[in-house]
Amino acid sequence: MWYLIFRHYVTVSLCHCHVVSLYLAHYFLTFVIIIVKIMYRKIAIGLFSTFLVSSAFAQGIKFEKGSLQSLIDKAKTEKKLLFIDAMADWCGPCKLMDKNIFSKTEVGNFYNANFINAKFDMQKDAVGREIAQKFNVYSFPTFLFINGEGQLVVENKGYMDEKSFLQLGKEAANATTILAEVKDKFLKGDHSPEVLATVIRTYTQSDMELAKKASEIYFDKKKDATLSQEEVGFLLSFLRSTEDKHYAYFKKYRTEIEKYVNPEMVKNFDNQLQLVDIWKQSLNVEKKTVNDAKFMALATPLFGEMMAKNLLNQYKLGYYETSRQFTKYEKIANELFANEEKINANEGLKAAWNIAEQSTDKKIIKAASVWVEKQVMGYETSYNTFVLSKLYHKLGKKAEAIMFAESAVRLAEQEGQDSSAMKQFLESLKK
């Protein structure tokens, strides 16, 4: 703790001088990234030919401000698409699009007449980060065309010349009509591979049930024993449980999937799917109890005893929180704090926050504070310093609580995060 206090004063002094889970989560998120790359790399292809894309700011295109939802609502009201230039301030091609393309009169006239236009930094703007997460934006510039229902209609990436960028806009403007026609064909019983594939590509994000239904029909009708890269994406996008119909397709085409995805990752993903069902079998929802022995018996062959025990504790931690069994929650959290290697940062900070908010057990609060101190020593953020401040407050360490609440406010402002709750807590400490 003294190290933290010392570093706090050094940081504050510098500022005044103007120098200004989880194992399973890892594999699931890795799969999501793979699926995104497979699915959305070709979302425009097959509908409208191949284009190159980009992003930026300029005099020609009028870029509007607002939240994502307000911009979508405006697009819906005006019966237009929302065009978003998803960029980053360090991106060279983004800057070239600003300078060479967005400023053109012809480009501005067309985009201003046909779209609601907006641009966001995917890393610095809060709205930008929301967009990046929602539409899986990983490279810059990325151009997004979104309809009034919040559905992604066309996506493309990269620098392009004026002629190509105008052609992209024209194809996007026609896309809504084309997609509406395809959806109507599907609902009226046209289950040709082309229609099914288009529905899957288009509605996986915005209408999961519709896209999933199309995917099930697609694989039921499929005769070929091989899979394309895009078809692997179709299959994995809807796979959430061994009880899911797509799990049968997963087993049938596993060899094909492993041509595009590392076999070890496929194995771990399969284990994760099985783990979901193991948890369901071990949980008695009516009695709000967990059968530890059953979970361990089923999970150990897949993960080994130590990992199975860790996974059981992680599942129980989440379940006891949602079922409001805080005494049991405290016990599991305390066990995890005592075994640092078995708890990741996000899970630990969430548990520490709950302890700070609800616990009256000084021993558990102390264990949580020791764990958070180590997180802060590793890398200070507004969140972990705020959690530490609240834990110190619970332990009666007012001076330390004030110090780290001040750090939380400062870091939140540097990160561009909302610091109002931290400021309110700080004010309450100083009374």
Query: Is 295 part of any domain?
Result: no
Q: What is the pLDDT of residue 14?
A: 35
Nearest-CA neighbor of 429 among 407, 408, 399, 409? 399
Whole-number pLDDT of residue 347: 84
SS3 at position 257 = helix
> CA–CA separation, 86 vs 168, rounded Å?
15
Of the three residues 200, 232, 261, the one that is the final residue of a domain is 261
> How many domains does the chain divide into?
3
Alpha-carbon distance of 248 to 199, in angstroms, equals 21
Q: What is the pLDDT of residue 205?
A: 66
Residue 24 lies in a domain: no
d(CA 355, CA 369): 10
Query: Which residue, chain included where needed, has tokens 């060479």?
Result: 100
Same domain, 203 and 161: no
d(CA 115, CA 169) in angstroms, rounded, equals 9
Residue 9 forms part of a structural domain: no
Report CA dihedral (388, 390, 391, 392) to the nearest 10 degrees. 90
Q: What is the CATH number of the domain that holds 421?
A: 1.25.40
Question: Domain holding 95: CATH number?
Answer: 3.40.30.10
Which residues lie closer than 8 Å to 338 by C-beta, 6 or more apart? 367
| 122 plus 217 within the same structural domain | no
- 168 and 77, same domain (yes or no): yes
State which of 261, 287, 320 marks the end of a domain. 261
Residues 220 and 168 placed together within one structural domain of the fold: no
Q: What are phi and psi of 54, to 5 degrees?
A: -170, -160
- Residue in this structure with the two tokens 């075994």, named with its chain if needed: 339
Supply the pLDDT for residue 342: 66
- What's the pLDDT score for residue 12? 37
Classify residue 277: in a domain, yes or no.
no
Question: Which distant-in-sequence residues (6+ apart) come within 8 Å of 367 by Cβ?
Answer: 334, 337, 338
80 located within any domain:
yes
Residue 240 located in a structural domain: yes
C-alpha distances in angstroms, 212 versus 221, 232, 246, 327, 340?
Answer: 14, 14, 9, 40, 40
Do 213 and 167 reside in the same domain of the chain?
no
pLDDT mean for each 10 residues of the chain (431 residues):
41 37 46 47 40 46 95 94 95 93 95 96 92 90 93 89 92 80 92 93 80 96 93 92 94 96 95 94 94 97 93 91 92 85 80 94 94 92 95 96 96 89 94 86
208 and 253 share a domain? yes
Domain that holds residue 377: 352-430
Measured CA to CA, the distance from residue 57 to residue 419 in angstroms comes to 29
Pair (98, 160) in one structural domain? yes
Residue 233 near residue 38 (C-beta atoms within 8 A): yes
CA distance 320 to 54: 47
Cα–Cα dist 167/356, whole Å: 56
Question: Residue 289: inside a domain, yes or no?
Answer: no
Residue 380 and residue 274: Cα distance in Å, rounded?
Answer: 37
